[in-house]
Structures are given as C-alpha cells and as structure tokens.
Amino acid sequence: MPVHAFVFPGQGSQAVGMGRDLAAAFPAARELFQEVDDTLRQRLSRLMFEGPGEELTLTENTQPALMAHSLAVLRVLEKEGGITIANKAFVVAGHSLGEYTALAAAGAFSVADAARLLKLRGQAMQKATPPGVGAMAALLGADMEQARAICEEAALVPETEDREVIQPANDNGAGQVVISGHRGAVERAIEIAKAKGIKRAMMLPVSAPFHCALMAPAADAMAEALDKTPPGEPIVPLIANVSAGREQDPQRIRDLLVQQVTATVRWRESVMAMTEMGVDSFIELGAGKVLTGLAKRIVPDAMGIAAGTPAEIEAVLKTL
C-alpha cells in the first residue's frame, strides 16, 4: 500500500481561472469558496475565476486564493470519495503559504482562520519593504552550498565595508535555489553566479523579497496574529518548512510559522525527510503541478499526483 503525503502549493502556482471548473462541477467546492468570500468580505472567488491577473497576483490575494483552491479540492475528495486527511495522509506539508493550507487541511486551523491569517500575512509581507528595495532570483543548476557562497560574496557592497541582506529563500531541490534580499545584492549575486558557471540565474517577477531578514516586520505581525489565533494540534504530523522535520505540538508549530516568514523554505530536505519516513506517494492538492514536479525530481521513484481540476480529481479518486 502506498504511503501518502498530502502537499499544498505556494505562491507562483496561481493563475486566472483557478478553481472555476471545480466550482462549476461540485457544490462542495462552491460552498468552500463562498465561505472564504464571506470570511474576507471580498469576492475572492470571482477574482480567481475571472481575474484580472494583476489583482490576483497581489500577495494579499494570492495567498488566501491558493489556500481556498486547495481546500476546495480536499472538500470534493471528502464528499465524492470519502477521502480525508485522517484516513489517507501519513503526513501533510505545504510550500511557504501552503503550510497554512496543510494545517487547515489537518484541522489545526479552521478555514476562516486560515483565510484571515493568510490575508494578513500577504498584507504584512507586502508592507515589510518599500517597493524596489528588495528582489528575488532563481539559481538553476545550483545547490545550497553554492547558493550560500554566492550570497556571502554578493552581500558585500563594492568599495565599502557595508553588507546588504541576501540569503537562500527556497531550497526547492533538483538544482533549484531561490535567493532573496536587497535588490543590489541580488543583482550582484546573478553576476557572480554567471561567473561561477551556474546554469542559469534570473530575477523573479515578485513584489517583495520573501523569506529573508527584510521580512522581519511581517514576522512580528504574524507573531501577534498567531498569539490571537493559535494553531491547534493537526490530526496528522506536519513536515515544517523551517525544521524539515515532523511537527505536531501546537506551540512549536506556532513558533515555526513565525520563523518561516524570514527563514529558508527547506523543501528539498522536507521531501527527503518524508521519503525517509516511508512516504512514496505525493498528492498535491490545488493549483498547478509545481510540487509534483519537484517531488519526482528529488525522489525519482516516488509517485506524484496533482489534483486541481475535475478530471484530475477523478484520477485521484481512482488511485486512492
């Protein structure tokens, strides 16, 4: 019998039209989208279904939208096939904001609380740095050791003794590391990476430098929010971004969610940890297939299935 991890995507998986076919096909999905709309007092579902894309990609909208899509898929699986986290998942995990989705899926947050927290998280991350101060870049063909060395060199401002913030933001695995920090440092890192023969180094079209020390004000905001709305105990363990380990204690999870805002998302290590625990099947619920692709590249023998559309849900129902 396969051992399943249910995983939930992060920012970058959104697209106009997300969830539209799901809502048309399944009342359970429509109910979930309506619950999120009512909680946020916003027609988020219309924005997901119809755009405009520029508004959907605003961080404060993207984060709850991706959560809503993923949890709508889970609701449909529950209604149509009796598939629940409790009876099918060995562990759950989510990439960055997806960690909140994973916790909601595992009962540690209500849907409404997860929606409110992610709306606040998106707003706080956007406000943490003025526009243009920070940037992010992808280093393709680099490992973490190389990325750290590049960041260390790029942090030094030329002809001064000053240092700028730059650090690995996402260790996605399969030779893909994302770095984040002050724009000047990230620009220097791209040139250093090219000089070192890294396959490809490119700026990412993001609105803020996520998962680095420049996000400290957002971490403070989330600490306050999570004190008011703490997580409960998930019904199955969470593999956390910050620790890349199994977590189930609510206070520990709360602390890791705060740290996660400024810390590296250790996705490669998380996938490896799940594999070492016996997981051989990764079920990605929600928009896109990013995590399914990463899992297959990190652990080639693993089974990866993405479920975000009615047709993909049918395939998952047959598989599980």
Residue 282 three-state SS: strand
Tell me, yes or no, if 95 is annotated catalytic: no
Tell me, yes or no, if 211 is annotated catalytic: yes
Which one of the listed residues 45, 96, 207, 270 is annotated catalytic? Answer: 96
Task: Characterize 22-60 residue by residue with b for buried, 16 or more Cβ atoms within 10 angstroms of its Cβ, and e for exposed.
Answer: bbebbebbbebbebbbebbebebbebbbeeeeeebbebb
Could you tell me which residues come within 8 angstroms of residue 147 by beta carbon, excluding any fewer than 6 positions away? Answer: 139, 168, 171, 177, 179
> 267, 299 in Cβ contact below 8 A?
no
Residue 148, phi then psi, degrees to nearest 5: -65, -40
Residue for token pair 């700026």: 203
Q: Is the peptide bond before 52 cis (omega within 30 degrees of 0)?
A: yes
Q: What element of type H or E holds 109? A: none
Q: What element of type H or E holds 236? A: none
Q: Annotated catalytic sites, by residue?
A: 96, 211
